[in-house]
Structure formats: C-alpha cells, structure tokens
Amino acid sequence: MHVRSWLRLAAIPGRLSLGIALVAALAAAAPVRAQSIATLQNSLQLAVCLNDWDTAIAHASQLEQVPGLPIKTLAQLVTFRRQMQLFRQNQTVVSPIDGCEPVLAGFGRPGYTGRPLDFDRGVYSSIGTGTPVVAADQTLRQYEALWQAGLGVTADTTLDPLAEAQRINTRSGSGVTTGAVSRRIDIYAFLGAQGDSADLDLTVIQQRPGVLYTDDAAQLFLFDAEGRLLAEARTTQGIQPRLPATTLPANGVYYAAVTTPQHRPLLDEGGFITGWQGIGTSAITYTLTIDGLTPSLDLGLR
C-alpha cells in the first residue's frame, strides 16, 4: 500500500504526493486563490491523517475544480480520490502514515506568530504558582519551548467566522494558552477524538478598563469542525467560564472562542456560526486550559 508516500513534503516520482509539489502546481494554476487552495490542501492532509475519508474525499473534489490545473495534477487528484472512496467503502484504517506526525502534533507545518500578551504570567497562573517577580532563565526557556511547540500558531480553516483561529498543541492530551481580549474575539483550534470528555477552563488573570466596564466578565464558546455551537459558558456571580466534561462527537478540529459580554456568535437554524454580533464591553487578560483530550499523535490510530 502506497499511502505512506502521499503526505511526504517532497514529490515522489510515480506516486501521489500531497506535499509541496502539489500545492505549487495548484497555486500556479490559480495564483489569486493560492491561500485558499493551500488551506484546502492542509485540510485534506489532516483528514487523511485522521482516516476521515468523507472529509478527505470532499476536499479532493474541491481541489479538482481549481481552474487551469495541469492534466497530470488533475489525474493525480482523481486517482487519489478514487482510492479514498475504496477506503471508505471498505472502512479501511491506515496507520501509520509517513508525514502525519507534524500534521497531528500541530495539525500542519507550524509557523511562529509571536508571543501573546503576558504569556509568562498566564502560564504561571494556569499551573497555580502565582505571578513571579523574577523568572529563572531555565523557566523562561521552558515556556518558550511550549510556545514554539505550537501555541499561537495560525490554524487553517475555511470557516470565515473562525478564520483567525490559532492552534493549541495537544500532543500530550491537554494544552494551555493565554491572551487578552476586549472588543475583539480570540479564537483557538485544537484536535479532539470522538468520545473525548473535553474540559475547557478560562481563568481571568487581569481586568482592564473596557468599552463600558472594568470587570472580569468573559464568555467561552465551543464549536465543532463545521462551525456548530456545541457549548457555551459565561461569568456568573463571580464564577469564571468553564465547559466541563463536554463529549466530542467526532475526530477532528474544534474551536474555542473567548469574548467579553455583548459579543456573541450569529447562528443559523442548524446552530452553525455565520458571523459575530455586538462588541465586547469589558477587557481582560486570561489563560485558557483544555484537558481530557486524546493525545494528538494518537488520533491517526483511532
């Protein structure tokens, strides 16, 4: 079985590769749409690594519609899609797949985007040791390593209302990040498995003057890969937002959004996000901790 070659980052003559060569061919065929094509490509890689053949087939079909594709590239996509249709029909589980470790660890090749506000303070708060006066060099290097490992890396998504999502690395089955939000929205993406009992815990570590209020009020929303709202929580009587033991319905990407009051998602009749309404009225710095997940590198084995 040649599945192991499909996700390598360099082209392999005579075999289907879903790496740099195919992305380059697709981008050359439609340079104006290169970014959206690359997003589809990354989503296709993730779906294959998760053995999610329905999603992978859908993304391959979308890529086949790119205008101006070279005949060879189109033929590769068609062949690949047909192979995945056989996998779906036979309920095939393929593991391991070469090239999937970086995809599942951070669900994509990482790109460093910079450290968010009060990152060190946020990590100290999340592990319950208080705010340090002076941090040791070794401690700072450890935090930098966590950040480099995937925290804050931009996620690829075709969902416009969640397009600013940053990845949270969950290779250990949990992850933590920190940020500051007032009028805007902070969105995070992470990988989960069907049946995982996810626990999302938001801790406000600083409150600042907002548009209307100076308080610790916050809102937390959880969406699935298609943008369906699964759960929400808000600050109530001094208790900060938490989504405990939320059962995840499928393997894939999930999105957590942090806002302050009056800034909420717009949903259609099916409960899927179509946009955002309102504006945040408070201003906070926070940590977001996610636990109860299957380690991301194990997702391809399920």
pLDDT tens per residue across span 15-68: 333 444 454 455 555 554 555 777 788 788 888 888 889 988 998 898 888 888
| Model confidence, pTM | 0.71
pLDDT confidence tier of residue 98, bands split at 50, 70 and 90: confident
Query: 189: which residues sit within 8 A by CB, 6+ positions away?
Result: 107, 155, 157, 162, 165, 166, 167, 168, 253, 254, 255
Q: How far apart are CA 145 and CA 292, in angstroms?
A: 22
- Residue-wise pLDDT tens digits, 124-145: 444 444 444 444 445 545 544 5
Q: How far apart are CA 94 and CA 53, in angstroms?
A: 11
- Do the beta carbons of residue 126 and residue 176 sit within 8 Å? yes
Q: At what angle do helices 34-49 and 53-64 cross, to 10 degrees?
A: 150
Is the pLDDT confidence value at 232 over 90? Answer: yes
- Residue-wise pLDDT tens digits, 166-214: 888 888 888 888 888 888 899 999 999 999 999 999 999 888 899 898 8
Across 15-19, 246-250, 298-302, least confident range:
15-19
Task: Give me the pLDDT at residue 155, please.
Answer: 65
